[in-house]
Amino acid sequence: MRKIFVFCVAVLFLLPMSVNAEGKQNPRISNISSSSVVISWVADEKCTGAVHYGVSTDALNLTETDNSRRENCVMRIELKGLTPDTAYYFETVSGNIVDSNSGSYYTFRTAEISEEISIPSHLLVGQVLLDNGENADGTMVYVTVEHDERNSTALSCMVFNGYWCVDLANLKHEDGTAFTEWEINDTLYIEIEGGEYGYKNITTFITILGEGETYQNCTTPTGFKALPKPAAPQIKADTEEYNRILIIVFCIVLCMIMIMVYLLRKDNLR
């Protein structure tokens, strides 16, 4: 009888009182170098974020966090101190929502340490404003170049004081080598991800405007619409259902404990 009582108490304390739900956050990978990378995504609500990562899907033992809790729900985490030419796996966490890519995990490969080559700096600068004229700080801007039907990996920058800036000298191929073949008039793709602020994409061309290029047309126009989030209600429903199950199990175990206590007292009275 006493063994059963101890077992019930142990089960009660081992039950989880909260749960991390699985969801899709569709993280973006950008600014890949031989030792760092930027992971960014849009959460379903204002919360803290994290990236669990490692060199094996069985050991995501490294963590970086974003505790900014931005109003537009955009997350940006830079992973530093990485090993060159190495495959990494990761999952993202937004509050209690985990995105492990359905258990397959997301992956990227750091660039090799290449020979020092002189690549001229070519800055792109733009401004991002909200419809009311305020700075769209916390918005992510992604820049990709297409040359001869081949695309570079994305460069990214988070808007600060209304402005963003990237250097085309940092462009990379998918294999991590420098994307140096771009030319004037190559296609330039600019994506503006503002989360709750909205989304916009611009297709333009590389030109020369002095020492760099300024794209004032990145200012958001009237009608900068919010992004739909169809997956959020389902995630919430799954979490609530799991919590209801936990409450039911908790009540069952509590009843078992009360019965055991009653039986123990009855035995002692004999």
What percentage of the chain's residues is helix, strand, coil (to nearest 5)? 25, 35, 45
103: its two tokens: 């258990």
Q: If you average pLDDT over residues 236-255, what whole number do you get? A: 63
88 within domain boundaries: yes
Q: What is the CATH number of the domain that holds 194?
A: 2.60.40.10
Please state the domain count of the chain.
Answer: 3
pLDDT of residue 127: 86
Which residue type does 20 have? N
Q: 18-32, 34-48, 53-67: lowest mean pLDDT where?
A: 18-32
End residue of a domain, out of 113, 138, 171: 113
Mean confidence (pLDDT) of the chain = 80
In a domain, 6, yes or no: no
Domain boundary among 88, 113, 138: 113
- Return d(Cα 150, Cα 147) in angstroms, integer: 5
Token look-up 């991590």 returns 176
In a domain, 152, yes or no: yes
Cβ within 8 Å of residue 1, ≥6 positions away:
260, 263, 264, 267
* Residue 195 located in a structural domain: yes
CA distances from 256 to 9, 235, 269 (A): 9, 32, 20
Are 103 and 123 in a shared domain? no
8 closest CA partner among 265, 251, 268: 251
* Confidence class for position 226, pLDDT limits 50, 70, 90: very low
Contact at 8 Å (CB) between 187 and 146?
yes
CB 197 within 8 A of CB 162: no
Q: Per the domain annotation, does 265 fall within a domain?
A: yes
Query: 38 with 62, same domain?
Result: yes
Shared domain for 68 and 156, answered yes or no, is no
Place of tokens 């297409």: 146
With contact defined as beta carbons under 8 Å apart, do 45 and 25 qualify?
no
Q: What is the mean pLDDT of residues 163-184?
A: 90
Distance CA 237, CA 235 (A): 5
In the chain, % of residues over pLDDT 70:
75
| 2 found inside a domain | no
In this prediction, residue 4 carries a pLDDT of 43
CA distance 142 to 161: 17
Are 148 and 234 within one domain?
Answer: no
Looking at the structure, do residues 89 and 125 belong to the same domain, yes or no? Answer: no
Q: 249 and 235, same structural domain?
A: yes
Residues 153 and 166 in one domain: yes
* Sign, CA torsion 191/193/197/198: positive
Whether 268 and 242 map to the same domain: the answer is: yes
Q: Could you give the residue ranges of the DSSP H alpha helices within the chain?
A: 2-14, 231-269
Do residue 223 and residue 239 come from a single domain? Answer: no
Give the pLDDT of residue 130.
86
* Distance (Å) of CA 107 to CA 81, 89, 212: 17, 4, 33
Domain contains 3? no
Q: What is the DSSP string of 148-183?
A: TTEEPPPEEEE-BTTEEEEEGGG-B-TTS-B-----
Average pLDDT estimate for 143-147 = 96
10, part of any domain: no
Residue 223 sits in the same domain as residue 238: no
Residues 126, 185, single domain; the answer is yes
Is the separation of the CB atoms in 9 and 257 below 8 Å? Answer: yes
37 vs 211, higher pLDDT: 37
Domain containing residue 265: 230-270
Question: What is the rounded average pLDDT of the residues 134-146?
Answer: 94
Quick one: 240 and 268 in the same domain? yes
Place of tokens 């509590």: 254
